[in-house]
Amino acid sequence: MAGNWTERRVVVTGIGVVSALGRNPLVFWDNVLAGKCGVQPITAFDASAFTTRIAAEVKDFDPVPAFPSAKDARRADRFAQFAVFAAEEALRDSGLDLNTVDLDQVGTFIGSGIGGLHTIEEQHKVYLAKGPSRLSPFMIPMLILNMGSGLFSMFRNLRGPNVATCSACATATHALGEAWRTVKMGDANVMFAGGCEAAIVPLGLGGFCAMRALSTRNDDPQRASRPFDRDRDGFVMGEGGGVIVLEELQHAKARGARIYAELAGYGNTADAHHLTTPAPAGEGAARCMRMALRSAGMNPEDISYINAHGTSTPQGDIAETQAIKTVFGGHARKLAVSSTKGATGHMLGAAGAVEMALCVKAIECDVVPPTINLENPDPECDLDYVPGAAREMRVDAIVNNSFGFGGHNATVIARKFA
């Protein structure tokens, strides 16, 4: 590799999303800006026995157009179908012609927090009813969480670095950060990075209900996920996928690519505190944001907007607010901070990439998405959360936060390309 690796710049040239609010980036962006909500009563199965009966489902989803054949699509769990679909959307959006680039220099980092839970559930039923001889030979390849990344690389013959991150709800943001490092170090020129999740199945819903992590506002699903609101009572499950195309700047320029933004920094820390509860005062999250700022060579005052993890949980929203105030000091009061999970639900391992798509659109369009359902602010959540409606403003640089069970923290920073 010629030159110092720190001189390599990484830009965003494509975005792909599949969610309850849209299956291409423009539709998704428009719906989030309009304050729409994808949370509805669950239709995939009978949820009447559960304490939570609502989620942000991707309804009427047909994965086949994104796959080489209908057979290939059937041999993929729903989470991997989301991954391939979002990656194909990102590829289309990027305008990258894979026939004209070195595929040894194109890689795929697409993770999942949980993986093939639907396959596990269905195959366990087969085992109990019919015995081990009737298990599908595709069970293991379908359920392992690396297969979203693996399938897309196989279908498109991408022979560069290939990893599937797994860090609960920080999964996709870790994928973005590690892909950024991979391009920056010169190990690839193009990376497809993101996450996918399909955990809205009885076992997944039941597990989160048992933790008492979910909102039980079943009679008012559109207002159930309410980040930073004093009446929040837990998160709402979402599903889908998000993939971002990260490209080395000169490679992107040589092909005349449209550049959304520059990915400039990455932070990755551990709370080392508790299975599910954030560290006191968001200390781990604060260290993560500081690390991202340091790697970007930026000051707190350089940031315009934070897309918060903001899941609508009682402790998490307060801890993140405290972390932002710790890192940004007086500038925290000047920042726009919003959580889009009121609209999309919490997409778990996919969340960070889907939210990154919103962040780069915010940079491109100078508009930040709103926090919907913020009607009665929590006194301990006292920042500018862009309540209710999108806001036109200059967006020079963004912070995108994701925090996961296990104490995983991930932050990426992007800025206007210049």
pLDDT in tens, 343-365: 999 999 999 999 999 999 999 99
* Sheet with 10-18: strands ordered across: 162-163, 106-111, 190-197, 240-248, 10-18, 261-270, 408-415, 397-404, 305-307, 336-338
- Please report whether residue 196 resides in a domain: yes
Whether 103 is in a domain gets the answer yes
Instruction: Mark whether 167 and 283 lie in a shared domain.
Output: no
Domain boundary among 254, 276, 298: 254
Looking at the whole model, is its pTM more than 0.85? yes
Q: How confident is the model at residue 5 (pLDDT cuts 50, 70, 90)?
A: low
Instruction: Identify the pLDDT of residue 230.
Output: 98
- The answer to the question of residue 3 being in a domain is no
User: Is pLDDT of 145 > 80?
Assistant: yes
Burial call 236-258: b when 16+ CB within 10 Å, e when fewer = bbbbbbbbbbbbbbebbeeeebe
pLDDT digits (tens, 9 = 90+) for 368-385: 999 999 999 999 999 999
Task: Determine, yes or no, domain membership for 56.
Answer: yes
Give the whole-angstrom CA distance, residue 401 versus residue 321. 12
Give the model's confidence band at 4: pLDDT under 50 very low, under 70 low, under 90 confident, else very high.
Answer: low
Question: What is the pLDDT averaged over residues 285-295?
Answer: 98
pLDDT at position 160: 98
Where does the pLDDT of residue 57 fall: very low under 50, low under 70, confident under 90, or very high at 90 and above? very high
State the average pLDDT over residues 161-174: 98
Report whether 323 contacts 286 (CB < 8 A).
yes
CA gap 70, 85 in Å, rounded: 13
- For position 407, what pLDDT does the model report? 96
Q: What is the pLDDT of residues 104-114, one digit of tens each?
A: 999 999 999 99
- On whether residue 332 sits in a domain, the answer given is yes
What residues make up the domain containing 229? 11-254
- Domain end among 254, 289, 315: 254
pLDDT value, residue 384: 98
> Are residues 52 and 120 located together in one domain of the fold?
yes
User: Percentage of the chain with pLDDT > 70?
Assistant: 99
Residue 309 designated active-site: yes
If you write DSSP's letter for every residue of 182-250 in order, what string do you get? HHHTTS-SEEEEEEEE---SHHHHHHHHHHT-B---TT-GGGT--TTBTT---B-BB-EEEEEEEEEHH
Residues 166 and 231 in one domain: yes
pLDDT at position 7, please?
81
210 shares a domain with 288:
no
How confident is residue 169, by pLDDT bands cut at 50, 70 and 90? Answer: very high
Of 254, 287, 302, which residue is a domain's last? 254
Quote the number of domains for the chain: 2
Backbone dihedral angles phi then psi of residue 262, each to the nearest 5 degrees: -105, 130
Considering the chain, what percentage of its residues have pLDDT values greater than 90? 98
Question: What is the structure's pLDDT at 3?
Answer: 43
HSE value, Cβ hemisphere, 13 Å, CA-based, for 32: 34
CATH of the domain at 332: 3.40.47.10
Residues 229, 270 share a domain: no
Measuring CA to CA, which residue among 215, 264, 241, 141 is closest to residue 373? Answer: 215
Q: Are residues 60 and 186 in the same domain?
A: yes
CB 32 within 8 A of CB 358: yes
With 50 as the cut, is the pLDDT of residue 251 above it? yes
Residues 204 and 335 in one domain: no
| One domain, residues 55 and 204 | yes
Residue 4 lies in a domain: no
Q: Does one domain contain both 331 and 226?
A: no
Average pLDDT over residues 73-97: 98
Whether the pLDDT of residue 242 is over 90: the answer is yes
Q: How far apart are CA 87 and CA 184, in angstroms?
A: 21
Q: Indicate whether 309 and 250 sit together in one domain.
A: no
Strands (E), 234-315: 240-248, 261-270, 305-307
State the catalytic residue, choosing from 118, 174, 346, 408.
346
Q: Which member of 166, 169, 196, 288 is catalytic?
A: 169
Does 1 fall in a domain?
A: no
In terms of domains, do 270 and 224 share one? Answer: no
Q: Is the pLDDT of residue 134 over 70?
A: yes
Catalytic residue among 166, 309, 359, 408: 309
Same domain for 181 and 304: no
Active site residue 166: no
Residue 167 lies in a domain: yes
Q: Distances in Å between the alpha carbon of 358 and those of 107, 153, 308? A: 23, 25, 12
Helix, strand, coil shares of the chain as percentages rounded to 5? Answer: 40, 20, 40
Dist CA 313 CA 403 (whole Å): 12
